[in-house]
Chains A and B, each alone.
Chain A
């Protein structure tokens, strides 16, 4: 990423004292708003209800993990997290398998219908996915997959395929043909070229797609609330949303739940920041 702001514009800033002050207030103010909310939730999660009401802004009297223990073990968050993890990882794996094969064909072979197949996936990017909830519901119902993790994995895979294919085709088109030609001379068949050349070379794009799909599946709420109905299959967003009704006045516990749900994506984000940001920006360009 070129960091190119030049000396000139720094000199320029110095001339504009008021503009500079406005700028700092703005960027740090917005920072404080976003970061402050997170910290406030974190502090609330360590408080008892009595503390929350008596001093909403104050520091917790002690770092008290009760809310986390209750949330994780009594309120089933461990189960919901496990479900979310299974769903998100399986969705990523299925998207990889289905997405990388078709992307290989689209990007490396010239054949009739090539562009058309690609177009089908690009069209998928423009459709507001939430408008498909009714047919998805009835499809899963008729397949007997409603309220199963397998069913929601299939749905999430379908919804995330356009994005995956879009990212992978874009990347695979840029891989030089010579790589494959060398492999053909070495006597590789197409399957070997795919697994030994294309897949290893596409690792950056796979990483980007994988993280985006993981976050999307981890966070998804609308389809989960429609398709899943029992505690045993609830994903984290669904379980967390149910806190609103089952623990209405237990604010510390709800705050702990929110923190628990954010931590895994936050870690993923910290680790793969550049990839996530670039992926979202380039996905956004077409999505």
Chain B
């Protein structure tokens, strides 16, 4: 029986584990290892030790990309989470057609980044795009521009699909959090006669603390990994203005054939995401 059990454990774990180690964990270690070399993908690797990282520290474009990525993190905090929260909070109060509303809010989450990007490229299109057509319609023709090419608007234009895409996800996560806020707490506050904003600030938000932490962690990781929009809409241009860490990593590897450097960017991204996750969990530690 014991032998049979041991055999069963081996049979059930080994194939998956072998697959996972070969196709997932080895690539993770390859990334770390290759980040220590200079390599164009063809010739011999040249060992630099931390050379790539030192170069990264002095690379103004990397700082620009990092700045833009943190701008996305900021957008998560000031737009995505608040929008998601208010949508969740309002439909939680059983407005009419709440199911329809929730269904539609969530559609962007399941649509592919390519579809969302193409849709937004239509919005921004200079000649017939919704945005310019609308501005012309209301007589503000002087404000029309090529949104994705204009240096003043490119970053905002490329960030909007990112924000819009995940508001629905934040809404759903916060909605499920709202369901566990005790009714008595809300009732008690209403009897005390607080106004709507006080209720949100003093009663609802503190009860959602843990869920908000989850949203923050989630938002940060999305800000670092969802660079499809930038790749498809502006490819980091004009002149690196909309570069994010993901596109910079991608282009260093596949356009410049600097795989070592690209891997160093990848590891830096991983490192930042993991450190942020740890710090957030530590500082905003869930309270009982």
Contact = CB atoms under 8 A, between A and B. Distances in A.
A270 B214 CA distance: 26
Contact of A30 (B83, B103, B129): B83
A161 B127 contact: no
A26 B86 contact: yes
Chain A interface, >50% SS class? helix
B112 interface: yes
B162 to A, nearest CB: 14
Interface in A2-35: 2-6, 8-10, 12-13, 16, 19, 23-24, 26-27, 30-31, 34-35
Contacts of B277: 126
A155 B19 contact: no
A77 B17 CA distance: 36
Interface string A127-161: 11111111110110000000000000011011101
A106 B87 CA distance: 38
B202 interface: no
Contacts of A281: 172-173, 176
A219 to B, nearest CB: 4
Interface size class of B (residues with CB under 8 A): 35 or more
Given A4-B183, A262-B115, A57 B87 contact: no
Given A27-B90, A126-B277, A128-B270, A280 B183 contact: no
Interface size class of A (residues with CB under 8 A): 35 or more
B232 interface: yes
B15 interface: yes
Contact of B19 (A41, A98, A136, A284): A98
A261 B112 contact: yes
B256 interface: no
Interface stretch (A67-75, A116-124, A202-210): A116-124
A194 B114 contact: no
B24 A284 contact: no
A158 B12 contact: no
Interface string B7-46: 0110111011101100111111011001000000100000
A109 B267 contact: no
Nearest to A125: B221
Interface in A233-287: 236-238, 240-241, 243-244, 251, 254-255, 257-258, 261-262, 265-266, 269-270, 273, 276-278, 280-281, 284-285, 287
A38 interface: yes
Given A111-B6, A155-B23, 12 more contacts: A5-B94, A53-B128, A98-B16, A101-B12, A126-B274, A128-B225, A132-B24, A133-B249, A162-B24, A219-B113, A237-B114, A265-B112
13 contacts: A9-B187, A37-B123, A56-B130, A101-B11, A101-B13, A102-B16, A117-B13, A124-B24, A132-B266, A154-B23, A221-B232, A241-B232, A277-B102
